[in-house]
Structure 1
Amino acid sequence: MLSTLLIAALLSACASKPDEAPERTEAEQYREARESMESNNYVTAVDRLKELEARFPYGRYAEQAQLELIYSQFRLQDYPQTVVAAQRFMRSYPAHPRLDYALYMRGLANFYMERGFFDSMMNTDKSARDLSSARDAFEDFERLVTRFPDSEYSEDARARMVFIRNEFARHELHAARYYARRGAYIAAIGRAQYVVQHYQQTPLVPEALAIMVKGYERLDRPALADKSRRILATNWPDSEFLEDDDQVDLAWWPNENKGLLSLLTFDLL
């Protein structure tokens, strides 16, 4: 009997070691996550916020923790995970008063998704790239300014929409130049025409019209060439693509022989 009591006492003593730290409360864990954020230690902040979510999924800090997680992952430039976190918050709290913030952050993450290391070092031309993430960003910003026109983030969202729209137009012109240099004038005109029709407020429209003029001239369609030239001269009389006699000049436009040669040699010569 005595030995049984001694064993029980020994086990009880081992089970409650005096140096064992008590389990942190939800408030303490959230405070630690905030302290990590304030010290710009976002790696630790993300770990602590995820742990907080796992331990207290329905706690008083659950909503705020998800918002902090969106921001922390964005600061780490982990844009795919920022998008995931923002989408999860929007699904979980569709009527939350800070839904505009989550939508804005998702747009920002998509906006920067295509930026690589070298983009932060130099002004690279992104017009030749796939712009799927930029389209997602544009849709996010458009949804933000439509649903929350008075949001504190709407003004910046509108400015970014202008920038993205210019990128879309530049992307189309990049393709138009590509086709024109290879003698594919119908394809070049089609891309330029798309810019004129869909991106009228961008500064790329004058060059698009100039491409249409030159393309129609190559296709021996003088009426269509004259129509495009008149639109260009009427709306942009000081355009760099217009000469004094209102003839169109594109410095990069290939002469007829070069266009044929490029087409036959896949532009290797």
Structure 2
Amino acid sequence: MSVSNPTRGAMAAVILSVLGLGLGGCDALDSINPFAEKYKPEVIPTVPADKLYSEGLAKMEDSDYEGAAKKFGDLDKQYTYSDWSRKALLMTAFANYEGQKYDDAINASKRYLQRHPASKDAAYAQYLMAMSQYKQIPDVTRDQERSERALVALQELVTKYPKSEYVADAKAKIQITRDQLAGKEMEIGRYYLERRNFPAAINRFRDVVSKYQTTRHAEEALMRLTEAYMALGITAEAQNSAAVLGHNFPDSPWYKDAYALLQNGGLEPREEKSSFLSRAFRSITGQTASAN
């Protein structure tokens, strides 16, 4: 005796119904297909390049920097590899910079420099990238990775485009950025000094003296070196750091403190000309003389 299979019967009924519906037209099929979607081809009109560019400029004038960046981005995409694309990419970077979307400005500037390294506006693209890093320099108590990136970008501007109109501003900001980095080293050095971890403190203060001699922190770094060396009983190094401080910054209040510290220990400043500290400041003096 044969037993009918209800599952097979149901499947057959569905198949027959689908076939029947298929003969009736596609609309019926769509009605039972949950994934069916009706697509209508979208025709995007081609906007003239100059019109897109003008629209972007108009949004810039209205301080709609996000809208401007989008317009310039559309121009770059629609007219890739044209001169309009080159202009649009630079304006994208500028619009993002003005809108304080600094990471977007950095990315656009990098793309510009990759595509157009020999362009007459390459220096400006480098400047926008450097300034976008510079604007994100954090408080000295925080991690200074942004400061380091800003310093690299600013130095690249000075090195690659020495005749650029942006070099003077870049050099001024390099000094400010170096001062920021030196300040961070001093903060860490003082932290170790307060906890009597003198070797760790000395390493930080030596970094300030070796890398950032032209910053305002150099005087204190030499005084703190004198203090740390005296605490460790390394009197010759203490005398030397105080002497270098007095030689380079004779009117500094930090020198007065260093001198008093040595006198309390029955010592006088005495410079060792072959020492690391002496050589570090002689190199700066030589660079200054050659620059003049």
Structure-2-length-normalised TM-score: 0.71
Q: Secondary structure at the match of 2:259?
A: coil
Whole-angstrom CA distance in 2 between matches of 1:163 and 1:60: 37
Confirm or deny: 8 A CA contact 1:37 1:45 kept in the other structure. Answer: yes
Is 1:227 aligned to 2:250, yes or no?
no
Q: Which amino acid aligns with 1:207?
A: E
Structure number with the higher helix fraction is 2
Is 1:214 aligned to 2:194, yes or no?
no
Q: Which amino acid aligns with 1:168?
A: L
1:199-223 Cα shifts (integer Å, max 9, x gaps): 1111211100111111111111112
Matched with 1:113 is 136
Cα offset, 1:21, TM superposition: 11
Whole-angstrom CA distance in 2 between matches of 1:21 and 1:100: 36
Equivalences, count: 220
Matched with 2:124 is 101
Is 1:50 aligned to 2:63, yes or no?
no
1:55-94 Cα shifts (integer Å, max 9, x gaps): 2213341110011100000011111111100001111112
Matched with 1:4 is none
Give 5+ residue unaligned stretches, structure 2: 1-42, 263-292
Distance verdict in 2 for CA 1:148–1:21, change over 3 Å: closer
Deviating 4+ runs (over 4 angstroms): 20-23
Confirm or deny: 8 A CA contact 2:127 2:154 kept in the other structure. Answer: yes
RMSD: 2.0
Confirm or deny: 8 A CA contact 2:226 2:258 kept in the other structure. Answer: no
Whole-angstrom CA distance in 2 between matches of 1:32 and 1:244: 63
The structure 2 residue matched to 1:86, chosen from 103, 106, 109, is 109
Confirm or deny: 8 A CA contact 2:96 2:104 kept in the other structure. Answer: yes
Confirm or deny: 8 A CA contact 1:210 1:248 kept in the other structure. Answer: no
Cα offset, 1:22, TM superposition: 6.2
Query: Greater relative contact order: 1 or 2 (C-alpha under 8 angstroms, separation 6 or more)?
Result: 1
Whole-angstrom CA distance in 2 between matches of 1:153 and 1:231: 35
Cα offset, 1:245, TM superposition: 9.0
Distance verdict in 2 for CA 1:183–1:245, change over 3 Å: closer
Whole-angstrom CA distance in 2 between matches of 1:248 and 1:69: 57
Q: Which amino acid aligns with 1:147?
A: K
Moved more, 97-106 or 191-200: 191-200
Whole-angstrom CA distance in 1 between matches of 2:81 and 2:74: 13
Confirm or deny: 8 A CA contact 1:26 1:59 kept in the other structure. Answer: no
Matched with 1:139 is 152
Whole-angstrom CA distance in 2 between matches of 1:206 and 1:75: 38
Is 1:129 aligned to 2:142, yes or no?
yes
Whole-angstrom CA distance in 2 between matches of 1:100 and 1:80: 18
Give 5+ residue unaligned stretches, structure 1: 1-19, 116-125, 250-269
**Mapping of 1:1-269 within 5 angstroms?**
23-115=46-138, 126-243=139-256, 246-248=259-261
Moved more, 53-62 or 77-86: 53-62
Whole-angstrom CA distance in 2 between matches of 1:21 and 1:61: 19
Confirm or deny: 8 A CA contact 2:130 2:153 kept in the other structure. Answer: yes
Q: Percent identity?
A: 29
Whole-angstrom CA distance in 1 between matches of 2:258 and 2:69: 64
Distance verdict in 2 for CA 1:51–1:136, change over 3 Å: same
